[in-house]
């Protein structure tokens, strides 16, 4: 394992919520919760102001509303977040060819492989410059961890939150890890954590004290050996530039259980079309069609069918998904449906089902909002006015939807570089009001690297926090 802290881990701060605050001046400094707004929705991200009330990611939205009733609740704008993520990933790739994205807002970078850093001082300079460049280009903040391994770099970025930089200096790793919970180690989830706790092992130091043989006895040979090495701060996992996509899938959770079999079939076809659009967008095709059904009693069924060859034909995927649905008992109601494609390839092969289907049918354009509860009884005219999404009015200009219902939609008119705007209410059918694309958060050319001095004054200010016991750097 390398001895210098040249593995960098970047984690954007409360990414979705921070992007919404930067986009909407009236929400800066206020509690913002992003996620599915239906009774079965979950929190995707909560701003730091909302976290004060106990709101956190993966929490049921109903519980979040009880904890923070006055927060702003918004539906995710994934296309907007992806565009910002591409800017950030572009900055990371300027540092090194070895960039391993974990999600839209998180990635590892091997600075040494890019010749960007070779010791602690150069790594710290690279991390500080990255944070400044991210702020200049996107208007957002990210926390950076630097260490000699991926595990430690991720721990360092957690300690750096929000908006900070932490370096774990060589020689301090064991002392840092020792008192931490076993859950800090990669591969220790709830089940493994409970198993260790029942054995009297709560901290990383207690793993070391128990010894490798005891870990193997408790967890098995592979897991035991690996976990013991991690506890000793050994992590030789390399930064991998590209991860092979294994499957492409979409799913929806419904506010009200679907009992009508015809409605279930229509939803499965709609999901199949969305899945194909995502598949084609990635330049892929696949052989195995997967159907996921979660029933009224929370039981989840998964069915799959493997075709003769890979396809990206929407008719083929729809028909396969409907065949799979025929073998599923939906009596009692369905609360979630999903369609996926696996066995991916970067080419297509004519399929007998496609020949039978005749002319290819292109799915209609539809906004991608995955894992967000879809209201059952919402009028089509109102459904497009989604809370938090962008609109434009012929007279008042750009704004965003604060809410809709009873035939009316409420809009706040403001832009990222304006003062907090005024609120106006319109009929949902108002011809002067139309959906709009998000505006950029800064005036910089998208993807262009700029200096920190170019950050517009109207963007959110940096926060400071406790960087823990390791070496820290903050604005």
Q: Which residues are catalytic?
A: 106
Q: Please enumerate in sequence order all residues whose Cβ is within 8 A of that of 471, keeping only pairs 6 or more positions apart, or say none.
A: 124, 166, 167, 168, 169
CA distance 127 to 106: 14
For every residue of 75-114, DSSP letters joined together read ---HHHHHHHHHHHHHHHHHH-S-EEEEETTEEEEETGGG
Q: How far is CA 99 from CA 4, 56, 147, in A?
A: 18, 28, 15
Answer for the pair 124, 130: CB distance below 8 angstroms, yes or no: no
Q: Please enumerate in sequence order all residues whose Cβ is within 8 A of that of 356, keeping only pairs 6 or more positions apart, or say none.
A: none
SS3 content of the chain, % helix, strand, coil (to 5): 35, 25, 40
Half-sphere exposure of 459 (CA within 13 A, CB side): 22
Q: For the chain, how many residues are written?
A: 475
Which residue in 344, 229, 362, 350 sits closest to 290, CA to CA?
344
Tokens found for residue 69: 């009733």
CA distance 9 to 142: 10
Half-sphere exposure of 277 (CA within 13 A, CB side): 15
Answer for the pair 107, 92: CB distance below 8 angstroms, yes or no: yes
Answer for the pair 50, 71: CB distance below 8 angstroms, yes or no: yes
Q: Which residue carries 């598949």 as its tokens?
A: 279
Answer for the pair 315, 231: CB distance below 8 angstroms, yes or no: no
Alpha helices, DSSP H, located in 351-433: 352-357, 380-383
CA distance 244 to 101: 12
Q: Which residue carries 């709101």 as its tokens?
A: 55
């Amino acid at each position: 394992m390398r001895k210098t802290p040249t593995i960098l881990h970047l984690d954007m701060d409360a990414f979705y919520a921070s992007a919404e605050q930067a986009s909407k001046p009236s929400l800066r400094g206020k509690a913002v919760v992003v996620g599915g707004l239906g009774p079965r929705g979950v929190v995707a991200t909560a701003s730091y102001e909302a976290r004060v009330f106990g709101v956190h990611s993966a929490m049921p939205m109903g519980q979040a509303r009880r904890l923070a009733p006055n927060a702003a609740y918004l539906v995710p704008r994934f296309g907007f977040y992806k565009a910002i993520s591409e800017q950030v990933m572009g900055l990371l790739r300027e540092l090194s060819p070895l960039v391993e994205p974990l999600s839209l807002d998180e990635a590892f970078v091997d600075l040494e492989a890019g010749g960007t850093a070779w010791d602690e001082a150069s790594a710290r300079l690279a991390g500080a410059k990255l944070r400044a460049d991210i702020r200049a280009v996107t208007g957002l903040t990210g926390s950076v961890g630097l260490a000699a391994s991926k595990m430690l770099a991720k721990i360092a970025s957690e300690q750096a939150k929000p908006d900070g930089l932490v370096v774990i200096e060589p020689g301090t790793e064991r002392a840092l890890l020792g008192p931490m919970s076993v859950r800090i180690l990669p591969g220790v989830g709830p089940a493994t954590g409970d198993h260790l706790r029942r054995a009297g092992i709560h901290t990383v130091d207690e793993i070391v004290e128990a010894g490798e043989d005891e870990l193997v006895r408790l967890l098995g040979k592979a897991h035991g050996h690996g976990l013991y090495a991690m506890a000793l701060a050994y992590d030789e996992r390399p930064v991998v530039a590209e991860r092979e996509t294994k499957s492409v899938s979409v799913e929806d959770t419904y506010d009200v259980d679907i009992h009508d079999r015809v409605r279930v079939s229509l939803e499965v076809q709609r999901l199949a079309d969305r899945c194909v659009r995502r598949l084609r967008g990635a330049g892929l095709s696949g052989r195995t069609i997967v159907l996921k059904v979660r029933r009224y009693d929370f039981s989840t069924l998964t069915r799959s069918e493997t075709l003769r060859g890979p396809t990206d034909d929407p008719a083929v995927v729809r028909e396969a998904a409907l065949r799979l649905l025929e073998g599923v008992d939906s009596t009692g109601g369905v609360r979630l449906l999903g369609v996926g494609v696996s066995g991916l390839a970067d080419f297509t092969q004519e399929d007998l089902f496609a020949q039978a289907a005749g002319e290819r049918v292109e799915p209609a354009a539809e906004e991608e909002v995955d894992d967000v509860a879809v209201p059952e009884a919402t009028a089509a005219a109102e459904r497009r006015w989604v809370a938090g999404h962008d609109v434009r009015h012929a007279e008042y200009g750009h704004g965003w939807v604060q809410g809709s219902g009873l035939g009316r939609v409420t809009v706040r008119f403001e832009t990222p570089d304006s003062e907090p705007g005024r609120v106006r209410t319109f009929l949902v059918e108002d011809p002067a009001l139309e959906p709009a694309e998000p505006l950029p958060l800064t005036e910089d050319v998208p993807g262009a690297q700029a200096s920190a001095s170019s950050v517009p004054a109207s963007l959110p200010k940096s926060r400071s926090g406790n960087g823990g016991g390791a070496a820290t750097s903050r604005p």
